[in-house]
Structure 1
Amino acid sequence: MLNTVFNYIDENFERFISDLKDICRIPSIAAQNIGIMEAADKLKVMFENAGLNVRVLKVDKGNPLLYAEYKPRSYKKTLLFYNHYDVQPPDPLDLWVTPPFEPSIRDGKIFARGVADNKGNIIARLKAVESMLNVLGDLPIAVKFVIEGEEEIGSPSLPSYVKSYGSMFSADAGIWEFGYRDVSGRPVITLGVRGIAYFEFRVKGPRVDVHSGEAAIIPNPAWRLIYFLNSLRSDDGRILIDGFYDDLKPVEKEDEDLLKSIPFNDEEILKRLDIRGFVGGVRGFEALKAMLFNPTCNIDGLYSGYIGQGAKTIIPSYAMAKVDFRLPPGLTCQSLLEKLRRHMDKYGFNDIEVSLLSGYEAAKTDLKAGIVEVSISSAREIYGLEPIVYPISSGSGPMYLFVNELKIPMVSVGVGYHESNNHSPNENIRLEDFKLGIKHIVKIIDMMGRM
């Protein structure tokens, strides 16, 4: 019976691509507050046309959240999809081969900002449901879609949505936003995400920029910021805040066993990124383990003084840094903030302004959860290759709201690949992966209906 659905997908694939292009033309950039309502309205029409019931939810000043559901005449299980329709800013524009919001197909790939992160996954999941409804007339399970518009700015309103509508979002299992195929073509399934705390640090200097001839007596806020940042982390990556590691959970044996089954070519990574080595000198298995389970303190950006062309000799009036901490299971934003403030007091940095811009804790689904086996078995059948299972992602997302609070086990599968260029110029997905991603969701829905 599923072969009929797969044939329908093949026959309608050009239309599916056209719909993907349509949503990718909308520059729904949450950081700049543009294209948000247009994208939400466009998706609402798409989901309604596919036969789902749709509500556009709103809380406080947050961007609208699209909620869609389909409940069959008879069902025992409910599957929830989490996605987001907002995208990253496309800068730097001069590195794009074609304009970021004018979707372009070349070499079997579709290029556009947001096509991999996250609109390709939205449309793939929608088209899987649409295809099953059009061919079979019904689904074996209920499906729900939660599609927010603020993920790329830290999902500030999502906790309010979950608090207000959590009972509406209830499900037996869920599919998280992303997924990809590795360099060998094997599908990657991820069982969780790390937490994150994103800070801005600001140091005030003189009221205005001052001639650098007075640097012998006027304090420079840029140096002050450098001294502070240097107090946070050692050269080998260890975080120097007192008590930082106290609540860190040890890596479980089943997770270590999973890591040993993951192909990890450190030489290829070093060559591709043109770097001489990894932080702390780790290699092989230890490098992979560190990437997924070690907490990090990372400088995302620094700004102070004159950075234009040529020379300008000044003492800047302020210095600013944006820093993120990746938090494996056990570590929380609130605990980190408290320890960070104590660190700043202890070492005399309490004159530095600190703002927690966004953050959330880690989330992780148990390897023994039913949705994990369904995702693995279905991927094996659709892709014809053994999937790679990651116990957790090196990245972050608000998965904790669903896994930890709503108790929905979730996994990540999707339509990206190892060179999708998420957050970078020339973001893209391969058309073959888009089609297989649709069929994979069909198979997951079918198998979950048989559980």
Structure 2
Amino acid sequence: MNNKIKSYLQENREAHLHELFDLLAIPSISALPDHKEDVSKAANWVAESLKKIGMENVTIHPTKGHPVVYGDWLHAEGKPTVLIYGHYDVQPVDPLHLWDSPPFAPEIRDEKLYARGASDDKGQTFMHIKALEAILQSEETLPLNFKFCIEGEEEVGSPNLPAFVEENKELLAADVIVISDTSMMERGKPTICYGVRGLAGLQIDVKGSNSDLHSGLYGGGVHNPINALVELLASFHNENGEVTVEGFYDQVLPLTDEEKQAYQDLHFDEEQQRKELGVPALYGEKGYSYLERTWVRPTLDINGIYGGFQGDGIKTVIPAEAHAKITCRLVPNQDPEIIVDQLKAHIEKNKPKGVDISIALFDKGAPYVTPFDHPAIQAAGRAYEAVYQVPTSYTRGGGSLPIISTLDQVLHAPIVLMGFGLPTENFHAPNEHFHLENFDKGMETLCTYWFELEKSL
């Protein structure tokens, strides 16, 4: 990135922030039907913004839910194409009384921009638009070809985007996909997330008698569904924290030596993490570090369990039914479909006598990883380091981004997760904010990256 581009960003900083204020002021809450028009308004805002910077073929594509905004610039003959993905919808703002300023009235305090969507993901998506504007205004051309796919349903699980991607895979075809919807490890520590875990889950419903029973009259004569459920749930792990479902680990790919070294180089403080979480001890699969357990090892967790009397005091009943919700975080090369079949087989094998068990499936998402040494990943690392002047950290994410697996499976392009948020910025919570330090350095990093990527591919 040359000084001309950097000067353009600095000279137009206030104008860019005021434009971002306009986008953040739109309450585009995709989960609430009352805000359908606001979501549509945000889609139109993004489309107009793409047109203003010089993107072509800008189109608002309707779906069964909220629309997808597309735009492109394809005049870098013979050069690779980048697809930039982001989202313009936001989370609900409840509880409203915990906000220090109105969530849709953007406000800067202590060099932090407060508003719903400031970090997740309007602010980061906006940075991509303005970074390309800066290059076009300074150079009158771009080093690569670019496409945008900005959706309005990410915060409700992107239910309609997989079909859109499948139906428009030629339109969206690219050599690299770049997403800025993740976080750096901490302030001043740029981070590339090169993989995320997948997801598979189900609900277990245990049915006993045809109604609740008096525990004095029937206790000891029929199986208690809660007891049966606890017995079944206990069968999922052994004393070493390992999942005991047959075949669960069969397809797990081991870490490379380079990845292990990269994690050691982070010098993660497990004791500090324990203190921050307020737990007496960290826990997990024996033989692995905390980072390995939360990033690159699969898990099985009970997310909810309920049944019987829930009020104050005691009610001496044997409940007629009990329920549990289970999710598994999956890692490459695990297949969610296979994992679900293995869970079903385990439940059937360990089903307690005297009760009936039924299963309801949740949504599934495949894990994803871009090879650690891929040129697009390494170019991103160099771009971060050039701007932040510190080494880039390479991590995997413990959470799941189902749309990533869709983009991978349909478009077959490497995905680079270049986040500029911070874990402390309250996305999904009251007082969401975005550090303007990363707003500034983030756009410089993106501009630098496009030129690094041009040299690397």
CA distance in structure 2 between the aligned counterparts of 1:179 and 1:259, rounded to whole angstroms:
18
Cα separation, 2, equivalents of 1:102 and 1:301: 36
Q: Deviations over 1:378-417 (max 9, x none)?
A: 1111111111112x22122132233344221122112212
1:255 partnered with 2:267 = no
Deviation at 1:249, TM superposition (A): 1.7
**Distance change >3 Å, CA 224–CA 68, structure 1 → 2:** farther
Whichever residue aligns with residue 179 of structure 2, its letter is W
Name the CA shift for 1:337/1:27 in 2 (closer, same or farther; >3 Å).
farther
Distance 1:107 1:70 in 2: 37
Distance 1:246 1:449, change over 3 A: closer
**What do residues 209-236 of structure 1 show as CA deviations (whole Å, max 9, x unaligned)?**
7787777378665554444333333464
**Equivalent in the alignment of 1:365:** 370
**245, 248, 252: which one pairs with 1:241?**
245
Between the aligned partners of 1:426 and 1:304, the Cα distance in structure 2 is: 35
Give yes or no for the alignment of 1:127 onto 2:130: yes
Q: Given the alignment, which residue of 133, 148, 151 partners 1:148? A: 151
**The residue matched to 2:171 in structure 1 has which SS?**
coil
**How high is the sequence identity, in percent, across the aligned residues?**
32
Distance 1:313 1:119 in 2: 50
SS of 1:183's equivalent in the other structure is: coil
Report the equivalent of 1:264. 268
Q: Is this contact kept in 2: 1:236–1:279, CA < 8 A?
A: no
Amino acid at match of 2:24: C
SS at match of 2:120: helix
User: How far apart, CA to CA, are the structure 1 residues paired with 2:19 and 2:316?
Assistant: 53
Alignment of 1:381-392 (within 5 A): 381-390=386-395, 392=396
Q: Deviations over 1:332-385 (max 9, x none)?
A: 110011111111211227944433322211111123322112111111111111
Length-normalised TM-score, structure 1:
0.88
2:124 maps to 1:136: no
Deviates more, 1:399-408 or 1:89-98: 89-98
Per-residue displacement from partner, 1:268-321 (whole Å, max 9, x unpaired)? 2112221222113879x722222211111123344546656x447485665444
| Cα distance between partner residues in 2 of 1:74 and 1:121 | 28
Structure 1: gaps (5+ residues): none
Amino acid at match of 2:391: E
Task: Say if 1:57 and 1:67, in contact at 8 Å, map to a contact too.
Answer: yes
Does the 8 Å CA contact 2:124/2:420 hold for their aligned counterparts? yes
Q: Which region of structure 1 is more displaced relative to structure 2, 261-270 or 97-106? A: 97-106
* 2:198 aligned residue (195, 198, 212): 195
Q: Distance in 2 between the 1:238 and 1:420 partners?
A: 33
Amino acid at match of 1:393: G
Select 1:412's aligned residue among 414, 417, 422. 417
Deviates most, 195-204 or 168-177: 195-204
Correspondence for 1:38 among 29, 36, 41: 41
Deviation at 1:125, TM superposition (A): 0.8
Judged with a 3 Å threshold, the aligned counterparts in structure 2 of structure 1 residues 299 and 106 are, in CA distance, closer, same or farther, namely: farther
CA distance in structure 1 between the partners assigned to 2:452 and 2:251 by the alignment: 38
Q: Following TM superposition, by how much is the alpha carbon of 1:189 offset from its aligned partner in structure 2, in angstroms?
A: 0.9
Residue correspondences, number? 447
Between the aligned partners of 1:318 and 1:431, the Cα distance in structure 2 is: 52
**Which of 296, 305, 325 is the equivalent residue of 1:293?**
296
| CA 1:345–1:181: 2 relative to 1, 3 Å | closer
CA distance in 1, matches of 2:209, 2:430: 38
**Gaps in structure 2 of 5+ consecutive residues:** none
Superposition map of 1:223-372 within 5 A:
223-234=227-238, 236-280=240-284, 286-304=289-307, 310-311=312-313, 313=315, 319-348=322-351, 351-372=356-377
Structure 1 position 135, deviation (Å): 2.7
Q: 1:303 to 1:248 in 2, by over 3 A?
A: same
Q: Which amino acid aligns with 1:295?
A: P
Residue 439 (str. 1) matches residue 439 (str. 2) = no
What is the deviation of 1:141?
1.1
> Could you tell me which residue of structure 1 aligns to residue 101 of structure 2?
98
Compared with structure 1, are the counterparts of its residues 218 and 186 closer, same or farther at alpha carbon in structure 2 (3 Å cutoff)?
same
Q: Aligned partners of 1:306, 1:29: CA distance in 2, in Å? A: 36
Distance 2:16 2:215 in 1: 60
For 2:24, the equivalent position in structure 1 comes to 24
Note if 1:429 corresponds to 2:434: yes
Q: Given residue 269 of structure 2, which amino acid in structure 1 is its aligned partner?
A: N
CA RMSD of aligned residues (A): 2.9
Is the 2:366–2:405 Cα contact (8 Å) retained in structure 1?
yes
Per-residue CA deviations over 1:15-38 (Å, capped at 9, x if unaligned) read: 322333333333434444444333
**Cα pair distance change 1:136/1:290, threshold 3 Å:** same
Aligned to 1:444, the other structure's residue is in SS state helix
Which residue number corresponds to residue 161 of structure 1?
164
Moved over 6 A (4+): 205-215
Aligned partners of 2:117 and 2:123 also within 8 Å: yes
Change (3 A) 1:190 1:328: same
Q: CA deviation at 1:93?
A: 4.0
